[in-house]
Amino acid sequence: MIQFLDLKKINEPYEIAFQEKLNAVLEKGWYILGNEVSVFENNFANYCDAKYCIGVGNGFDALVLIFKAYIQLGKLRKGDEVIVPANTYIASILAIVEADLVPVLVEPKLETYNIDPDLITVKISSKTKAILAVHLYGQLAEMDAINEVAKANNLLVVEDAAQSHGAKFSVQCSESSVQSSFPETQNTQIATPNLVAAYSFYPGKNLGALGDGGAVVTNDSELAKTIRILRNYGSEIKYHIEYIGVNSRLDELQAAFLNVKLPNLDQENSIRKAIANRYLTEIKNDKIILPNVSLRETKQSNNHVFHLFVIRTKNRNELQQFLLDKGIQTMIHYPIPPHQQKAFENWNNLSFPVTEKIHNEVLSLPISPVLTDDEVSFVIEILNQY
């Protein structure tokens, strides 16, 4: 059986280093917000070419704390509207709600599965104060266009980078172009000094811990300081509570594991890109719609780090069973769109045809740094037989 994601195999090369880190943490006896967290925050900020990284409990908390920090700083108010893709994973939307803000759904582009910048303006009202751009499946949203809309309408932009560790715009772009998102390549620049992105280190991510973990990355010193305080009960000085905060701190041991894995992230992303390139060039079946990613981009840039390789087909369930019968495990990301979830009954009568089409047709193929050439060849062979 070709597993969709073999986490044990992914982490096997790191087992000795993990054990050494575990022993070091046990020996030191410091388990919360210690040296490993500080080192990782510094390492990941540097990796992202950003000034600040704040480790938190998980990717969901990273988003919530960004919004709550903006409220604390007076840049958002409870009840403000936040534009968000209609086809995102539910956590993006739940984070907006958790911060007492109002999500406003906008359709994605069918070609990229990311939010359609041309449709954002239509949904902007007097209550709209922010855009949550989600880099779905590991492909960056169109941040240049999104930032233009935001600037024209005086909106904040928050990036949900939970699936896009290592994604960046190509250095082939003009030096005068405004670049966006973390991390940045050499010869590129941050689009705005207040740019902020939320990351998840859930085990299945391109950079995954051995448990939950997350981080906020930003160049905004005031925002970074506020999030650091909010993540620790609202306290900067012990027993002195400045804000109504929460307990959401990146675990010392998980930070230690992430410090071990971070140096290999680019190499592992390159393997993902190589597998994606084979899928894109060798899968030839008119029943299957491949991701709309240019081969030039796949080979030369990191605009897409292929956290997931997502195809579409009319008979998704039939194809999934066909593959399973041949020994290939796949996943559906995601079977039910947010507006059709029971938790959001007030949205259940809304129509988002592009989103619904995506959720009814997508199927994620195996893709990971430990997938062998023979396994990739077998997946391609079977898909071409369908």
Active site residues: 205
Nearest to 87 by CA among 365, 362, 291, 367: 362
- Secondary element (H or E) of residue 16: helix 15-28
Give the side-chain half-sphere CA count within 13 A for 302: 21
The CB-based long-range contact list for 317-324 (8 Å cut-off, 24+ gap) reads 319/287, 319/288, 319/363, 319/386, 320/363, 322/382, 322/386, 323/379, 323/382, 323/383, 323/386
Place of tokens 């969709």: 4
Classify residue 349 by its DSSP letter.
Answer: T
**Residues 144, 190: contact at Cβ < 8 Å?**
no
**Residues 119, 141: contact at Cβ < 8 Å?**
no
Q: How many residues belong to the chain?
A: 386
